[in-house]
Structure 1
């Protein structure tokens, strides 16, 4: 499995196809406050669209739904099903990611055998309610140094208010990639924003 350097987080399939055409190959669907039928229909069409462009489809929070619609993986928040439970439910080939805000979080997820860790937030973001304490570049640096000292090599993805300008500093610390939403969604040209992120990743 090749964990992408660019994860895009969305709550809709609207406007997603041009981003996939631009080269986006890893998308997480994060939806709240929908009934079960709406969730299923949205997740089902989301997976079909990702499959069309050979992009990885990740469902946030709902392991059973992810399995039902044939997604590639699930991303688990701190209040969700444990990675061990999700692994037992979904099997060894399913991608499982987890959310972290501290080195202890990262260590716990590493020991639980997740495939990647979403670590953040870098700075304040309106995308997520109940935001964990902001890390800033200094916080990331400390956590990454602890990971290296403890031989934790699970891919770590920075998240939370990230812009293209942040990538060089984050990659210098050893981060594997970034997860973004507003930096692409709110861009004047979202497809061009995808290409800008991917261009830095290709350097």
Structure 2
């Protein structure tokens, strides 16, 4: 089963991204989603290649955000596709069955559609307003997660769902109570100078009710 915490990378330069990702890995995060938007292709490639080696060293999953061909070129563990990116089934045809493909969702119908097209996990959001992402979909809030996850249960739909969008430490317990699998965060981890302590606290909350 996938880890319950995903770190979505932040940083405007290669150095900032590398530093933040290395810090997250060093502090116990074992799933990195590389998000490096609107950059020169060579810079993105160089960063992705470096992050791939880092993740291999830390035995962490490495997913590339949006850029399927980059994920394929550097042999990343998979790709995460937004609602306006390439269709999941097209990505699956290109990457094959062994790679991880995640999809962004804002509604129950998005999830059904992704699942039918061969998606492995869902990034469902946004939970609340976040400055990290442009062109934000409608805010779900806690009631939105309850409603969607309940509908999934009623229709026997099983796929790991990660909450995303402006999540804080205090949000984790109520979010996990909705029945989601985990959370994807960026700012919460990037901005703290006590990453190891924070990631430990996050994981304690995420795994609190898991029977080993």
TM band (smaller chain): over 0.9
Pick aligned residue for 1:183 from 153, 172, 188: 188
Question: What is the CA deviation profile of residues 84-129 of structure 1, one whole-angstrom value per residue up to 9, with x for unaligned ones?
Answer: 1111111100000000001111111111121000000110000001
- Mapped contact 2:105–2:111 kept (Cα < 8 A): yes
Which aligned pairs between 1:90-129 and structure 2 lie closer than 5 A?
90-129=95-134
Aligned-pair distance for 1:188? Answer: 3.3
The whole-number CA distance in structure 2 between the counterparts of 1:175 and 1:198 is 14
| Structure 2 unpaired stretches of 5+ | 11-16
How many Å separate the matches in 1 of 2:21 and 2:107?
32
**What is the match of residue 144 of structure 1?**
149
Matched, 1:57 2:56: no
When normalised by structure 2's length, the TM-score is 0.92
How far, CA to CA, are the matches of 1:58 and 1:7 in structure 2? 10
Q: Answer yes or no: is 1:47 the counterpart of 2:52.
A: yes
Aligned-CA RMSD value: 1.1
Question: Which 5+ residue runs of structure 1 have no aligned equivalent?
Answer: none
TM-score, structure 1 normalization: 0.96
1:171 aligns with 2:176: yes
Which position in structure 1 is the counterpart of 2:200? 195
Cα separation, 1, equivalents of 2:203 and 2:81: 25
1:67 aligns with 2:72: yes
| CA-CA distance at 1:168 after TM superposition | 1.3
Task: Give the whole-Å Cα distance in 2 for the aligned partners of 1:114 and 1:83.
Answer: 6
The offset of 1:202, in angstroms, is: 2.8
User: Are 1:9 and 2:8 an aligned pair?
Assistant: yes
Aligned-partner Cα distance in 2 for 1:146–1:202: 23
